[in-house]
Amino acid sequence: MARDNWKGTSGWKTISDPTGVLTGFVLVGTGGRDSFSEDTMITKEGTATGITITNYSAYLNYAFPSFLGSETFSSGSVGLVARASNYSSTAPLTTAQDCYIARLNQGTGLSEIIRRISGTEVILASAGIPSSAFTFGGLHTLEFKCTGDASTGIIMDLLVDGASAVNVGDSSSNKLTTGDAGIQVGNGTTYIDNFTMFEYSSSGSATADWTPLTLTASVVSLWLNASVGISLGTGGLSSTILGWNDQSGNSNNIIANPATNQHPTIVPNAVNALAAAEFDGDNDFVQAADSATLDMGVGGLSIFVIYNADDFGSQVGASTIYEAPMIEKGLSYQYMLSNDTAGTPTKVTSGYEYNNNSDFPQSTNSAANLGTWQIAEFITRGGSSALATQSGFFANGTQQGQIGATVKNGADNADNLVIGQDGSGGTLRFDGKIAEVVVCKGELSEANRQKMEGYFAWRYGLTGLLPADHPYKTLKPTV
């Protein structure tokens, strides 16, 4: 919600979250007594590029501190704006003269959808406000769906905490077919976070979220998601991961290790209320049996890991180098964290390394961070990725080291695929949490790599890590 991307009509400020249920710095949305204040987002976050989508949902989280009484917002209003345009140059300066507004108005006791044309507002529909919409100390969501065009008419729906509060269509000659989205607050103060626009299809129908399987099972060789397909032990092993099913459709499921103390444990709410597998850095690892779909042939591969590491792994012999294998299949392909602690290091410092038994490329220094969730990626360059800028090491959507023009995977082998250790009997181990792993056969295009990054960032609440010009910084990838 960078200030530079907004029209700036509200004068609202940000403060550290006082509610305890939002995150970090939040927007203080304030409207004067018996008046409304609003602002609209006119460019994509971190850029000067205008927002051109017309069919979308505007979404935000809102909350009120538990230490305040409900009377402090007893006549207040909070809402969302859609299809705003025709900004005035007179007071109120640059307010949209044409727009739709969907709001919860405690002054009238109604959920309202309004059309404003040339500054004049007409209530198109109203209904009661859900009883739980203004609980203090709780987290709430507000969403305004607005789709349709001149030929089909406009369909609008205001949702509170995921449930429809009021909806209406507009087929009049005054219907609005394009414009910006924003926020409106009246007669009080609301604390706001995570304002987002979700794009619909050009026809106005809802789109499906993009997932790795949009690429099909012939491309995605392995997809492990710690929130899906996990089998746990019983009794004293109730947190121990004994099984982990592959979601790619290739049945590369995790097989049992020789001893239960070699299995990672599940952390239910590790990141953005989603689960992760925790590896102890001592002897935990998981493995999938060798299969044709895990052998990459000559086409190269693409690896993605969502992780939060506690350290850079195990010491390599008596050297100054520490390595934490994240995923490997013998000497065909190995991808790991790496850190050379020597005063004059011979290998990467705080970064990543790849090994195919003939090439040993490394990322730039300081590409990897400990103690925070990261989107780590590696794409070979021996097949279709001819451009240096489209292959190599990536972290959180930013390239962190190019590789040679013929770096791909090593020869296919009969080894198991192992996560968290250098082979089933190795001594180098990963210490930390892994939420998701995707291995693709072939080198993903830049467009598909960015979709994968967008998928992970939106799923795990990591959009703040993406670069400002990333295509999915403010809009999640859809199909």
> What's the chain's average pLDDT?
90
Under CATH, to which class is 3-199 assigned? mainly beta
Question: Could you tell me the residue ranges of all domains in the chain?
Answer: 3-199, 212-465
Confidence band, pLDDT 50/70/90 cuts, at residue 121: very high
Given this chain, do its domains 3-199 and 212-465 carry the same CATH topology?
yes
pLDDT value of residue 32: 80
| Reported pTM | 0.68
pLDDT value of residue 92: 53
Q: What is the 3-state secondary structure (H, E, C) of the chain?
A: CCHHHECCCCCCEEEECCCCCCCCEEEEEEEEEEEEEEEEECECCCCCCECCCCCEEEEEEEECCCCCCHHHHCCCEEEEEEEEEEECCCCCCCCEEEEEEEEEECCCCEEEEEEEECCEEEEEEEEECCCCCCCCCCCEEEEEEEEEECCCEEEEEEEECCEEEEEEEECCCCCCCCCEEEEEEEEEEEEEEEEEEEECCCCCCCCCECCHHHHCCCCEEEEEECCCCEEECCHHHCCEEEEECCCCCCCCCEECCCCHHHCCEEEEEEECCEEEEEEECCCCCEEECCCHHHCCCCCCEEEEEEEEECCCCEECCCCCEEEEEEEEECCCEEEEEEEECCCCCCCCCCEEEEECCCCCCECCCCCCCCCCCEEEEEECCCCCCCCHHHCEEEECCEECCCCCCCCCCCCCCCCCEEECECCCCCCCECEEEEEEEEEEECCCCHHHHHHHHHHHHHHCCCHHHCCCCCCCCCCCCEC
Q: What average pLDDT does the segment 18-33 reach?
A: 88
Under CATH, to which class is 212-465 assigned? mainly beta
Confidence band, pLDDT 50/70/90 cuts, at residue 89: confident
Confidence band, pLDDT 50/70/90 cuts, at residue 387: confident
Confidence band, pLDDT 50/70/90 cuts, at residue 278: very high
pLDDT value of residue 204: 60
pLDDT value of residue 386: 64
pLDDT value of residue 59: 93
pLDDT value of residue 128: 94
Share of the chain above pLDDT 90, in %: 67
